[in-house]
Amino acid sequence: MAGIIGFDRKDAATVPADASAPQSSRGSRRGLDWFVFFVADVQTGFGAFVAVFLTTQRWTQVDIGLVLTVSGLVGLVGQVPLGAFVDSVRSVRATAAVALTAIGISAFAFAAWPIFPVVLASRVLHAAASCIVSFAIVSLSLGLAGPAGMSERLGRNAAFASAGTGIAAAVMGLCGQYLSSQAVFFLAAALVAPGLFALTRIRPDEIRAAPAAAQRDGKGLKASAAGLALLMRNRTLVVFAGCIAMFHLANAAMLPLAASMVTLRSSQAATLMVAAAVIVPQLTVTVLSPWMGRAAQRWGRRPFLILGFLALAIRAFLFSLTGDPQLLVAFQVLDGVSATVLGVLVPLTIADLARGSGHFNLAQGLVGCAMGIGAAVSTILAGFMADSFGSYAAFTTLAAVAAAGLVLITLTMPETRPAEETA
């Protein structure tokens, strides 16, 4: 990837992880802020707008669920090898640039040719590239902030990501209302350009290498396999992955299902409803995330993880009671609470559990694999329940899953904050 839009191959290994490096510059921190912002802009188009667009193209709920499930399975299968891949690359910035470009290509193809083979291929490309981008963002965050500053950095990431998602949802909602739902995906593709520019603002000499990058020594797949075996023996990490799988099993299909239900009544109203339903939680996340990063450092991870699961269970139950678009949008405040918790605490908890292992991104891949399992099963389960028994039965099923996840994390998940870390 050398030479790609000005990226240096050696940026990921310039400064040792344990070196007493100076604080990263404001320019690099701002570059990461805006990269996170524009990545969120691009990814917003691949949320509930997918269900709206495909429904307007007369796709059935089963076909929509099948496409979403296949892309979820790609994300599932790719998590571990792609995590190991990001651990091994010499330039995290170049890798992120290529992956973001691939997402833009998939958005364009999805909008231009909404036929099954192209839609399926674009979703597969998007799923793989999204895994890489998400790993790269957390790696760059750790490289710039270091372990001690990771909690606050993740809170800042979540705030910029939610602001980007909220603004993009508003603009995309207007595009869907006054142009077409197809225009949403062309806009998503165009937003790749400012994201790439923001990435170039991160100085390579300020990215401290993760231990895996410093210890690779060309061992490749053998080292990754040994790392995977080591992580699988970490009981707390396995428990955490199981809890996250339950969360996404309940959560992944909820908003797409609501969007499809409203679309059947009015496709134009659905576009605005989806935009509002995305904006409300993102505003919540923007406000809460910086505080969440500091609070998790002060009071620990476990109380807030429980809070996130509780908010999901309440939201799922409320969704099962009504199809009123205005109420569904109001209930999305609870999604903002859950999104704040998961956005900050999932990578932070993984950093706690993988510290010193030299396989941070591989650990992210394991938990991401659990997310993929939950999300893939969620979409096909909800699609089947909605087509067979109705939307309200599908929401009730998701509510039951959310309640089971709340019980699981309350009873099995310990505190992971290192004892030496204080506010």
- Identify whether 366 is part of a domain: yes
Q: What is the model's pLDDT at position 269? A: 61
Domain carrying residue 389: 26-210+227-412
Q: What is the model's pLDDT at position 311? A: 93
Number of neighbouring beta carbons within 10 Å of residue 291: 13
Amino acid identity, position 8:
D
Is 320 in contact with 127 (CB distance < 8 Å)?
Answer: no
Collapsing DSSP to helix, strand or coil, 275 comes out as helix
Q: What is the model's pLDDT at position 220? A: 52
- Identify whether 348 is part of a domain: yes
Q: What is the model's pLDDT at position 14? A: 37
- Identify whether 304 is part of a domain: yes
| Nearest residue to 384 via CA among 147, 3, 65, 123 | 65
Q: Consecutive sets of 10 residues in the chain, 423 residues long: mean pLDDT of each? A: 40 40 70 88 70 69 71 73 76 86 85 77 84 85 76 81 77 70 77 88 72 46 63 82 91 82 64 72 81 83 92 89 78 88 87 74 81 82 82 86 91 80 50
| Total count of residues recorded for the chain | 423
Tokens encoding 350 = 């993984």
- Identify whether 219 is part of a domain: no
Q: What is the model's pLDDT at position 213? A: 44
Tokens encoding 182 = 């197809």
Q: What is the model's pLDDT at position 140? A: 86
Which whole-number Å values give the CA distances from 356 to 14, 147, 191, 193, 370, in the listed order? 19, 11, 37, 36, 22
- Identify whether 231 is part of a domain: yes
- Identify whether 421 is part of a domain: no
Tokens encoding 146 = 């270091």
- Identify whether 17 is part of a domain: no
Q: What is the model's pLDDT at position 356? A: 66
Amino acid identity, position 210:
A
The pairs formed by 140-143 with CB atoms below 8 angstroms and a separation of 24 or more are 140/32, 140/35, 140/92, 140/93, 140/96, 140/202, 140/207, 141/32, 141/347, 142/208, 142/210, 142/351, 142/360, 143/12, 143/92, 143/206, 143/207, 143/208, 143/209, 143/210
CATH code, 238: 1.20.1250.20
Collapsing DSSP to helix, strand or coil, 356 comes out as coil
- Identify whether 282 is part of a domain: yes
Rounded to a whole number of angstroms, the CA Rg of the chain reads: 20
Number of neighbouring beta carbons within 10 Å of residue 152: 17
Report phi then psi at 15, rounded to 5.
Answer: -120, 125
Domain total of the chain = 1
